Amino acid sequence: MSSHNESILREPLVTGKDITYAKVTDDILLPVENKPNKAWWIGFTMAALGALLWVVSVSYTFWTGIGAWGLNKTVGWAWDITDFVWWVGIGHAGTLISAVLLLFRQNWRNSINRSAEAMTIFAVICAATYVVAHMGRPWLAYWIFPLPNQFGSLWVNFNSPLVWDAFAISTYFTVSLVFWYCGLLPDIASVRDRAAGLKRRIYSILSFGWNGSVKTWQRFEIVSLILAGISTPLVLSVHTIVSMDFATSVIPGWHTTIFPPYFVAGAIFSGFAMVQTLLLVMRKVLNFENYITMFHIESMNKIIMVTGSIVGIAYLTELFIAWYSGSEYEMYAFANRIAGPYAWAYWAMMTCNVISPQLFWFKKIRTSIPISWVLSIVVNIGMWFERFVIIVTSLHRDYIPSSWAMFYPTWTDVGIFVGSIGLFFTLFLLFLRFLPGIAIAEVKLLLKSASLQQKTKLVKEGHLDPEHVEFFRNSLSKYDSVSEEDIKELETK
Amino acid sequence: MSNIKYIIGSFADPDELMHGIDKLQANNISIYDCFTPMPIHGIEAKLGVRPSRLPIAAFCFGLLGGTLGFSLLYYTMAYDWPMNIGGKPALPLPDFVPVTFECTILITALGMVATFFYRNHLFPGRAPRVMDLRATDDRFVIAVDANDNTDHEKIEDLLKEAGAVEVKYNERKYVSYE
């Protein structure tokens, strides 16, 4: 039942006074139903310029071939695969939030899942472009799929993790897109029923004729639950397979069994950091402070801290195993990472990924919006360096010292990377402009159980343990969207 | 014979909607359908809507996906053109796990969602069959067939008693048609 009273000890997920169902719709649809503000235009212009840079760099790569990049015969993978793994990793948080947190019935996912899923889809689009580009002849990219062909019926080699990767990434993209779009249907219908004219027609087509009848909702919930159930192993498999691109090779520093869990933890780590980067800006610019509250921010920071610690342990385990294995190549690979020519990248990774998330042990830090935002960017820088370190430092000095070489990026490498960030933000800003950035229907579900308004009402009715009320009141002090007066109101006589 | 096709009771609160359903049912008035801006838990049981069989469909699609995925691998790697890859076996079962798994997930997801769309007649361009335009915003709506249940005044009273903020008499089934 929607009126089921949640324990007063739980912090509210929706704050603000006089929040009604209508107000939720109004607030969330504000950026969709009105002309975008200045902040959106500034962001969009910058992002679009970045996307333009991406188009130029990718076109140049396609025109001249991957000789446009700084690769050489020793370092055959560098920024391309670094960026690919980075983007795929970022994509993981969306599915994690929408699927895993749904299975664990974490209601705070309701107001962040939509934008996190959108982020997943855009990140996977960015990642996929690197896969296509690094093939050298992108017009033959379909050769990765087992299509009947005229070349003597040769099939792809299904023993290869690179083929698994093509299956994993394309499945992941498709399932994420379907999951995201199914969730969007009721909200698109909300836009449709409030709009007029051409806008109404367009949203009507997009809404698939959704009407919110009992049977529709019943099936919708089943579909969400099962999609969550199958997306959870899927998301784990995707980064596991990405890690196997490396782990099944014989390159020192790559050939380790720790890679799958280590990569998955790193993916969640960077994904949540990116969600944090985006949402902290989004809640401010679009006035979503009542829906994306300090509780959400703090919870995400806690996840960043946990996964950051897992990643830290993985780094140390790698070092230990390199020594314990007794393999001289393995030992050299790690000595080279720590003190070789790319040591600065290794230490940048260590600082950003292992030390900085530990700051979140302090409550002051994890409930501070500016610090959280800066740290979320630091984490993403660190995670980019992690992939760079794994890929380039292992390749540039492997078995034959006469083949040792350095990798230096060209402007095309930099252009594609910076450009892909522009592409990502362009897509994300367009999403915020045309589709509801928060799942309206799911936030409405929280209104009568987990909102501050409801909890205030419960307190006023009495019958609650004063100690619990006190605890609840204290937990509110960190919220930037709750005023002193709101807290005072909770004082029992 | 009046032109009224449906009586629409719109509520501002989901609990009052549930109350309204109880009242109507206690008076033997059949409910056509309810339209809500969010899922209401427990409403299916009240209205006697059977549990969805989509999980069964999903399971069947999963079996199909797994079978198709494995068959593809078996056909290409072991039957059609077995290759000598470093002297490894032509049927390396552990290597088949990832692709079989991905195919299972893909077909399960697509098949289940397609079934959902098919059963609920959801597709791009379908004219929305909406009885109250605010039912996707802030109104929880009970629709009663006005021809099956003739005592309209009683229905209105019952709905109002349960807390309906508005009772409408729709002459068209769907107000969303232009």
Q: What's the confidence (pLDDT) of residue B6?
A: 86
Higher pLDDT, residue A175 or A95: A175
Q: Write the single-letter amino acid at A387.
A: R
Cβ-contact A168, A194 below 8 angstroms: no
Residue A11's SS3 state is coil
Of chain A, the percentage scoring pLDDT greater than 70 comes to 98
ipTM, 2 dp: 0.92
Which one of A4, A5, A21, A453 would you mutate to disrupt binding with B, by most B Cβ within 10 Å of its Cβ?
A21
Q: Is the pLDDT of residue A136 over 90?
A: no
Whether residues A21 and B37 touch (CB distance < 8 A) is answered with yes
pTM of the model: 0.92
Cβ-contact A249, A305 below 8 angstroms: no
Overall average pLDDT of the A32-61 stretch: 92
Q: Is the pLDDT of residue B178 over 60?
A: no
CATH number of A37-438: 1.20.1630.10
Q: What's the confidence (pLDDT) of residue A152?
A: 63
Q: What's the confidence (pLDDT) of residue A336?
A: 93
Q: Write the single-letter amino acid at A408.
A: Y
Sheet of B33-35, strand order: B33-35, B140-145, B6-11, B166-170
Whether residues B34 and A164 touch (CB distance < 8 A) is answered with no
Q: Of all residues in chain A, what percent are helix, strand and coil, respectively (each to 5)?
A: 75, 0, 25
User: How many angstroms away from the CA of B60 is the closest CA of chain A?
Assistant: 13
Q: Is the pLDDT of residue A358 over 60?
A: yes
In degrees and rounded to multiples of 5, residue A248 shows phi and psi of -85, 0
Overall average pLDDT of the A252-261 stretch: 91
Q: What's the confidence (pLDDT) of residue A337?
A: 93
Query: For all residues of chain B together, what is the average pLDDT?
Result: 88
Cβ-contact A51, A420 below 8 angstroms: no
Which tokens belong to A346? 């290794």
Kindly list the distances between the CA atom of residue A435 and the CA atoms of A29, A116, A186, A336, in Å, as whole numbers in the listed order: 8, 13, 11, 48
Asked which of A241-245, A322-326, B49-53, B152-156 is least confident by mean pLDDT, the reply is B152-156
Q: Quick one: pLDDT band at residue A492, thresholds 50, 70, 90?
A: low
Whether residues A209 and B123 touch (CB distance < 8 A) is answered with yes
Q: What's the confidence (pLDDT) of residue A478?
A: 85
Q: What's the confidence (pLDDT) of residue B80?
A: 86
Neighbours of A470 (CB within 10 A): 13
Q: What's the confidence (pLDDT) of residue A266?
A: 92
Whether residues A233 and B138 touch (CB distance < 8 A) is answered with no
In degrees and rounded to multiples of 5, residue A397 shows phi and psi of -135, 90
Domain boundaries, chain B: 6-51+129-170, 54-119
Q: What's the confidence (pLDDT) of residue A1?
A: 41
Please identify which residue in the block is written with the tokens 């007063």: A8
Count A/B contacts: CB-CB distance under 8 Å.
Answer: 201
Please identify which residue in the block is written with the tokens 């069959």: B129
Q: What's the confidence (pLDDT) of residue A420?
A: 94
Kindly list the distances between the CA atom of residue A307 and the CA atoms of A127, A134, A278, A302, A362, in Å, as whole numbers in the listed order: 22, 30, 19, 9, 16
CATH number of B6-51+129-170: 3.30.70
Task: List, in order, residues 6 or more apart from A401 with CB less than 8 Å away.
Answer: none
Q: What's the confidence (pLDDT) of residue B173?
A: 78
Nearest to B137 among A190, A206, A237 (CB): A190
Residue A179's SS3 state is helix
Overall average pLDDT of the A75-95 stretch: 90
Q: Is the pLDDT of residue A61 over 50?
A: yes
Cβ-contact A123, A427 below 8 angstroms: no
Whether residues A157 and B33 touch (CB distance < 8 A) is answered with no
Q: What's the confidence (pLDDT) of residue B170?
A: 82
Whether residues B124 and A208 touch (CB distance < 8 A) is answered with yes
What is the Cα–Cα distance from A9 to A12, expressed in whole angstroms? Answer: 9
Task: List, in order, residues 6 or more apart from A63 with CB less than 8 Å away.
Answer: none
User: How many angstroms away from the CA of A228 is the closest CA of chain B?
Assistant: 10
Higher pLDDT, residue B173 or A369: A369
What is the Cα–Cα distance from B158 to A360, expressed in whole angstroms? Answer: 56
> What chain B residue is nearest to A232 in terms of C-alpha separation?
B105
What is the Cα–Cα distance from B136 to A212, expressed in whole angstroms? Answer: 7
What are A422-446's pLDDT values in tens digits? 999 999 999 999 999 999 999 998 8
Q: Is the pLDDT of residue A2 over 60?
A: no
What are A259-278's pLDDT values in tens digits? 999 999 999 999 999 999 99
Overall average pLDDT of the A223-230 stretch: 92
Domain boundaries, chain A: 37-438
Kindly list the distances between the CA atom of residue A293 and the CA atoms of A112, A260, A267, in Å, as whole numbers in the listed order: 10, 33, 24
What are A142-181's pLDDT values in tens digits? 888 888 877 766 888 888 899 999 999 999 999 999 999 9
Q: What's the confidence (pLDDT) of residue A491?
A: 73
What are B84-108's pLDDT values in tens digits? 888 888 888 999 999 999 999 999 9
Nearest to A218 among B44, B58, B80 (CB): B44
Whether residues B83 and A164 touch (CB distance < 8 A) is answered with no
End-to-end distance of chain B based on CA atoms, in angstroms?
Answer: 25
Query: For all residues of chain A together, what is the average pLDDT?
Result: 89
Question: B73 to chain A: which residues are within 8 Å by CB?
Answer: 158
* Most distant CA pair in chain B, distance: 84
Of chain A, the percentage scoring pLDDT greater than 90 comes to 56
Residue length of chain B = 178
